[in-house]
Amino acid sequence: MEKYKLFEALNWASSYLEEHQREAHEGELLLRHITGLSRNNFYMQMRESLPDEQFAAFKKAVEQHIEGVPVQHIIGYEEFYGRRFDVNQDVLIPRPETEELIWHMLEKTDRIFAHKKNVRAADVGTGSGILAITMKLERPDWSVTATDLSAAALKTANRNAETLSADIVFKEGDLLQPLEGESFDVFLSNPPYIPYSDIETMSEIVTDHEPHSALFADEEGLILYRKMSEQLPDHMNRPGLIGFEVGAGQSQIVAAILKKSFPNDHIEVIHDINGKDRMVFCELLK
């Protein structure tokens, strides 16, 4: 049997994926996973032959993705803020735009809490734990608590926290209910915000493999922002910062929802790198 060189296997996969309306670059992620090569070594060894068993495993992985299985579920992880997080069918796969929520939050809190020690932060709807764990690792002196309604999601988040050596308090329950009696300086959430009416137009890679409870929400995707905004005044310290990721086109409504609960505070909509209104922040004044 003729052996494929690395670049030949990659070229085959890229073309095959494109033919089936999948992203060509996913082939590289799958092949690097199968070979265990770093990106640098991968490109340095492009003319090396691929062992038969590795090509068979690669071909199977490409077929799985064409059938609709997310690449992240095949390889078992996704990169977020420079770190590797385990993902599976119980949690939302981290999206690049969520990194921007963290980046803007850190920039704002460095100013707001320039002289404060022991900042307390909460992440509601933590999923795989990306927000809570990233907050803790980027600001090790913070105390971070994370909640989720899903016990299965919290199991994944706990595993990620252990792997990345992040000391997080995880609590199971609905929104801020597990945080009764606690107050925080920083509050972040990337809740489900997709209207159920959008399900028909979405890729089966998402709808068939990621938990609907982490994707979709009632009231055109806005119900959880309303519920959290009603609960937040009992849990926020001053000064403080609230940050939401929102669906494109939802920012002004979410800003108005926050304004109802925090009428005298500073609310800001921030667009992501693609120009979409993806973040709403509320800075609580002293």
pLDDT in tens, 10-66: 999 999 999 999 988 899 999 999 999 988 999 899 999 999 999 999 999 999 999
Which amino acid does the sequence have at 162? Answer: E
Q: What is the pLDDT of residue 206?
A: 66
Helices 251-261 and 223-231: angle between axes, nearest 10 degrees: 20
Angle value at C-alpha 225, between 219 and 228, nearest 5 degrees: 130
Helix locations, the chain, DSSP H:
6-19, 26-35, 39-44, 52-66, 71-75, 96-112, 130-138, 151-163, 204-207, 218-221, 223-231, 251-261
Strand partners, 127: none
List, as residue ranges, the binding site: 125-129, 148, 190-193
Each of the 286 residues of the chain gets a pLDDT tens digit; together they read 468 899 999 999 999 999 999 988 899 999 999 999 988 999 899 999 999 999 999 999 999 999 989 999 999 999 999 999 999 989 988 988 999 999 999 999 999 999 888 999 999 999 999 999 999 999 999 999 999 999 999 999 999 999 999 999 999 999 999 999 999 999 999 998 677 776 777 677 666 766 766 666 676 778 999 999 999 999 999 999 999 999 988 999 999 999 999 999 999 999 999 999 999 999 999 8
Q: What pLDDT is attached to residue 154?
A: 97
Residues 19 and 283: their CA atoms lie apart, in Å, by 48
pLDDT at residue 203 in the model: 74
Buried-exposed string 240-263: b where 16+ CB fall within 10 A, e elsewhere: bbbbbbbbeebbebbbebbeebbe
Q: Which DSSP string corresponds to 33-70?
A: HHHT--HHHHHHTTTSBPPHHHHHHHHHHHHHHHTT--
Question: What residue segments make up the domains of the chain, in order of their start?
Answer: 6-67, 78-284
pLDDT digits (tens, 9 = 90+) for 160-185: 999 999 999 999 999 999 999 999 99
Select from 192, 187, 235 the least CA-distant residue to 215.
Answer: 192
**Residue ranges at the known binding site for S-adenosyl-L-methionine:** 125-129, 148, 190
This prediction's pTM: 0.89
Distances (CA, A) of 275 to 97, 266, 271, 272: 11, 22, 5, 5
**pLDDT value at residue 3:** 80
Residue in the block written with tokens 């990233």: 134
Residue pointed to by tokens 């599976």: 88
Task: Spell out the residues 6+ positions from residue 59 whose beta carbon is closer than 8 angstroms to its own.
Answer: none
Find the radius of gyration of the CA atoms of the chain: 21
Domain 78-284 in CATH 3.30.1340.10? The answer is: no
Binding-site residues for substrate sit at 190-193
Longest dimension (CA), the chain: 72
Report the distance separating Cα 90 and Cα 220, nearest Å. Answer: 23
pLDDT of residue 283: 98
pLDDT of residue 214: 60
Q: What angle do CA 232, 85, 212 make, to 5 degrees?
A: 60
